Homo-oligomer: A and B are copies of this chain.
């Protein structure tokens, strides 16, 4: 099995709110849209980000764990400089992200901060000066 992730799919409670955030707010472009069902956005050369209306996700995958707390994942958007981290977090705030953390120097040498999308999914905006961090930059 090749080491490949092809799609990252999130179960969202309100597809139109998610589209407003990612498309109108962050300025992304969708590649596929099925009203009331799914929005797909290419986020890498062979990688697609998919927002799937939760009822449809649950019908195929299973009932989603509810309750207080965050989902057990983060997605990261890495950039080259701390100034770009600040700029992306500012954009997320303008896009209506309810939770936007203050970026911090991390003990491993990076500088990162988190914002939450309309469902509370956490995105980390990061500089990572380590070798593995350099591998992900465009």
Interfacial residues, chain A to chain B (CB-CB below 8 A): 1-11, 26-29, 31-32, 40-49, 54, 57, 61-78, 88, 91-92, 114, 119, 121-122, 124, 126, 130, 132, 135-138
Nearest to A84 among chain B residues (CB) is B1
Report whether B72 and A11 are in contact in the complex, using a CB–CB cutoff of 8 Å: yes
Contacts of A41 in B (CB 8 A): 3
Knowing A135-B46, A138-B2 touch, does A73 contact B76 (C-beta < 8 A)? no
Please measure, in the bound complex, the distance between the C-alpha atom of A61 and the C-alpha atom of B124, giving whole angstroms.
9
Taking a contact as CB atoms closer than 8 A, the residue among B43, B65, B114 that contacts A70 in the complex is B65
The reply to whether A136 and B48 contact each other, CB–CB distance below 8 Å, is yes
Closest B residue to A88 by beta carbon equals B1
Knowing A2-B138, A4-B138, A78-B6, say if A54 contacts B72 (CB, 8 Å).
Answer: yes
